[in-house]
């Protein structure tokens, strides 16, 4: 079996990220809270969300999404839910 060496000094492949085009409006902001499913992740995210509203001077509602497994990517239907319903998302890790 051949051994593949990876050069860690090489620059990563650039990716062009974009921000979703949506109007924040004047009502409550909806924050997507993406938990990895480990202990305390949801509690940590909820605590962060409670501090964001006063910082922004806005009411905040939370849409909690828990990944089915911490080591796997989010299923597309959960990503779509966040994209449709939330102004922005916070992803957190428990333990």
pLDDT band at 27 (very low <50, low <70, confident <90, very high): confident
Cα–Cα distances in Å, from 46 out to 1, 42, 57, 72? 48, 6, 17, 22
Q: What is the pLDDT of residue 20?
A: 61
pTM of the model: 0.68
Please give the order of strands across the beta sheet that includes 88-92.
60-66, 29-35, 88-92
> Which segment of 16-20, 29-33, 55-59 scores lowest on mean pLDDT?
16-20
- Could you tell me the two tokens for 93? 């890790």
Query: Looking at the predicted structure, is the pLDDT value of residue 22 above 90?
Result: no
Query: Looking at the predicted structure, is the pLDDT value of residue 38 above 70?
Result: yes
> Burial, 76: exposed, middle or buried (Cβ in 10 Å; 0-12, 13-18, 19+)?
exposed
- Could you tell me the two tokens for 35? 């938990």
Spell out the residues 6+ positions from residue 39 whose beta carbon is closer than 8 angstroms to its own: 94, 95
């Amino acid at each position: 079996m051949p051994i593949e060496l990876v050069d860690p000094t090489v620059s990563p492949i650039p990716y062009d990220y974009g921000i979703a085009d949506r109007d924040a409006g004047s009502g409550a902001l909806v924050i997507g809270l993406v938990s990895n499913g480990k202990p305390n992740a949801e509690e940590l995210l909820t605590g962060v969300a409670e501090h964001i509203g006063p910082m922004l001077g806005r009411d905040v509602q939370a849409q909690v999404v828990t990944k089915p497994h911490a080591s796997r990517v989010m299923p597309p239907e959960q990503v779509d839910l966040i994209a449709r319903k939330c102004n922005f998302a916070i992803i957190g890790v428990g333990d």
